[in-house]
């Protein structure tokens, strides 16, 4: 058996303070020398970046829409087994899942699948006794879904006096333990922008702020009780930590081929497990900056342009003519490539910035990427190839992902069909070829290992 101490921080809604409190707890655990691992429920890219700043190691996403229960447990176990304790941060409200009317792919489902005890973060600002029925309702509702995972509560945005008054009442009337409170900490607030929180590297003095936050939570939370709760989580079987057969049969096929991956201020949205999968398949990840570098990494056999904020750096990207020329040449010579959202925008002939000014870009995709007044596509999608032709995704296969963008394209592509998991709304997207795929969707490679294996193998063939 494999012992994996773990807890999840979930909440009744977004804006309850999960990310700030999760970062503070991670910092406090680091200060105690416990070497925590961190995970984010759902497809969010930015919250894991804050986790990473705290623990100094890559935070991972876990998502039960992207992967089935067995694979989800494996992805969790392979990272958690290298740490002293794992902390999972929930997404939205605890039961908010697919289509807003299902608990599938919710924080609750992830906690149930991974057998992780949940501590509910309740924003108690302006609330006293009313916290009792709120907490009781969340406890009762989980019984309808089959597994009881809530094991405790933290009251956020409240005072020590109010907490001391409410603690015995809540524990007696709900039967649930309170693990402390968090007062108002305006000096630890994190700024937001159109895709969520600002990026960690944009915040001056972040490490000092996180240090203060960790010390504050050490004072007002029962961290001893929380680590004891984490120790109570059920053990995993040895087989759950072993590489799945669908990965094992492709292991090493890339034979060390270098994949150039855009990583800088403009391109920073990546699932760490996606990159690790490419490495398991035999690829070597070579980071580069389309914003600052003049050349692609030497000897690259493939190219990945991820999502991020290219619209904030459009002038600088456009001015880097050497890199634009390098990418245009590589794509023109059929180097295998994947481009998602911001990376897809960068490949256009023109891309608008946040002020609606168009800038010349790589010109690999005919047309223009432009700003829209509202969120265009949002949420989970399943992608299927439309045509019976040789490409990374074959007809009859599917790969899962999500979209979240305020920009659109005059040429969004039409080789794949994207379908919402609830409501059956669908549309065409993606420019796909035998060795490439480019479009707005963010793909999760573990949802179709064949797709990732074909990309790595095509990069190895291109290089040889």
CA distance 95 to 106: 6
Contact in structure between 8 and 110 (CB atoms under 8 Å):
yes
194 to 75, 189, 198, 200: CA distances (angstroms): 30, 17, 9, 15
CA distance 453 to 304: 14
CA distance 106 to 404: 18
CA distance 320 to 290: 8
CA distance 3 to 231: 8
- Could you give the 3-state DSSP secondary structure of residue 258? strand
Catalytic residue annotation = 341
pLDDT of the residue at 168: 98
CA distance 383 to 418: 5
Residue 208: which residues within 8 A CB-CB, separation 6 or more? none
Residue 315: which residues within 8 A CB-CB, separation 6 or more? 353, 359
CA distance 67 to 39: 15
Residue 70: other Cβ atoms inside 10 A? 12
| Per-residue pLDDT reduced to its tens digit, 66-92 | 999 999 999 999 999 999 999 999 999
146 to 136, 142, 291, 303: CA distances (angstroms): 16, 7, 50, 45
CA distance 273 to 268: 14
pLDDT of the residue at 281: 97
CA distance 91 to 116: 15
CA distance 457 to 464: 11
Contact in structure between 179 and 245 (CB atoms under 8 Å):
no
pLDDT of the residue at 387: 80
Per the structure block, which two tokens stand in for 415? 């080789």
CA distance 103 to 94: 8
pLDDT of the residue at 197: 53
| Per-residue pLDDT reduced to its tens digit, 301-332 | 999 999 999 999 999 999 999 999 999 999 99
The helix or strand, by DSSP H or E, that contains position 85, with its residue range, turns out to be strand 85-89
CA distance 380 to 371: 21
pTM, full prediction: 0.94
CA distance 244 to 250: 11
Residue 336 has, within 13 A of its CA and on its CB side, a CA count of 26
Residue 249: other Cβ atoms inside 10 A? 11
Contact in structure between 154 and 182 (CB atoms under 8 Å):
yes
pLDDT of the residue at 203: 55
Per the structure block, which two tokens stand in for 51? 């986790």
| Per-residue pLDDT reduced to its tens digit, 132-167 | 999 999 999 999 999 999 999 999 999 999 999 999
CA distance 11 to 154: 9
Residue numbers in the chain where pLDDT is lower than 50: 193-194
pLDDT of the residue at 193: 45
Per the structure block, which two tokens stand in for 66? 């992207």
Q: Whose CA is closest to 441, among 393, 395, 394, 396? A: 393
Residue 201: other Cβ atoms inside 10 A? 11
Per the structure block, which two tokens stand in for 105? 């792919």
3-state percent breakdown (helix, strand, coil) of the chain, nearest 5: 35, 25, 35
Q: Measure the CA dihedral 406/411/412/413, to 10°.
A: -170
345 to 44, 267, 363, 438, 444: CA distances (angstroms): 20, 11, 10, 9, 19
């Amino acid at each position: 058996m494999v012992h994996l101490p773990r807890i999840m921080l979930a909440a009744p809604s977004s804006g309850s303070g999960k990310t700030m409190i999760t970062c503070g707890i991670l910092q406090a655990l680091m200060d105690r020398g416990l070497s925590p691992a961190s995970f984010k429920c759902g497809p969010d890219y930015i919250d894991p970046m804050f986790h990473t700043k705290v623990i100094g190691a890559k935070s991972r996403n876990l998502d039960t829409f992207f992967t089935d229960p067995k694979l989800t447990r494996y992805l969790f176990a392979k990272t958690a087994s290298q740490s002293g304790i794992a902390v999972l941060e929930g997404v939205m409200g605890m039961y908010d899942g697919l289509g807003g009317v299902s608990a599938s792919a919710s924080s609750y489902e992830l906690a149930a699948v991974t057998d992780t005890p949940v501590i509910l973060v309740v924003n108690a600002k302006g609330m006293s006794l009313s916290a009792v029925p709120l907490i009781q309702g969340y406890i009762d509702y989980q019984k309808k879904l089959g597994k009881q995972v809530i094991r405790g509560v933290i009251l956020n945005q409240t005072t020590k006096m109010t907490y001391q008054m409410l603690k015995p009442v809540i524990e007696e009337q709900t039967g649930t333990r309170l693990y402390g409170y968090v007062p108002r900490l305006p000096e630890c607030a994190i700024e937001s922008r159109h895709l969520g929180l600002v990026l960690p590297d944009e915040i001056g003095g972040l490490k000092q702020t996180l240090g203060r936050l960790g010390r504050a939570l050490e004072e007002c939370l029962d961290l001893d009780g929380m680590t004891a709760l984490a120790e109570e989580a059920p053990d995993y079987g040895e087989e759950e930590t072993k590489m799945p057969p669908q990965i094992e049969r492709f292991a090493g096929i890339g034979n060390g081929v270098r994949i150039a991956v855009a990583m800088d201020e403009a391109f920073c949205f990546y699932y760490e497990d996606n990159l690790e999968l490419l490495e398991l398949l035999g690829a070597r990840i070579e980071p580069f900056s389309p914003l600052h570098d003049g050349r692609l990494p030497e000897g690259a056999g493939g190219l990945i342009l991820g999502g991020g904020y290219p619209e904030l750096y459009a002038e600088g990207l456009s001015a880097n003519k050497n890199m634009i020329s390098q990418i245009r040449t590589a794509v023109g010579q059929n180097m295998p490539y994947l481009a998602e959202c911001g990376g897809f925008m960068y490949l256009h002939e023109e891309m608008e910035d946040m002020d609606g000014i168009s800038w010349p870009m790589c010109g690999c995709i005919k047309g223009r990427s432009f700003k829209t007044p509202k969120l265009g596509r949002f949420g989970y999608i399943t992608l299927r190839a439309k045509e019976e032709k040789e490409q990374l995704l074959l007809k009859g296969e599917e790969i899962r992902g999500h979209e979240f963008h305020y920009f659109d394209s005059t040429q969004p592509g039409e080789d794949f069909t994207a379908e919402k998991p609830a409501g059956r709304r669908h549309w065409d997207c993606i420019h796909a070829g035998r060795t490439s795929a480019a479009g707005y969707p963010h793909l999760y490679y573990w949802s179709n290992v064949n797709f990732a294996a074909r990309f790595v193998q095509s990069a190895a063939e291109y290089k040889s």
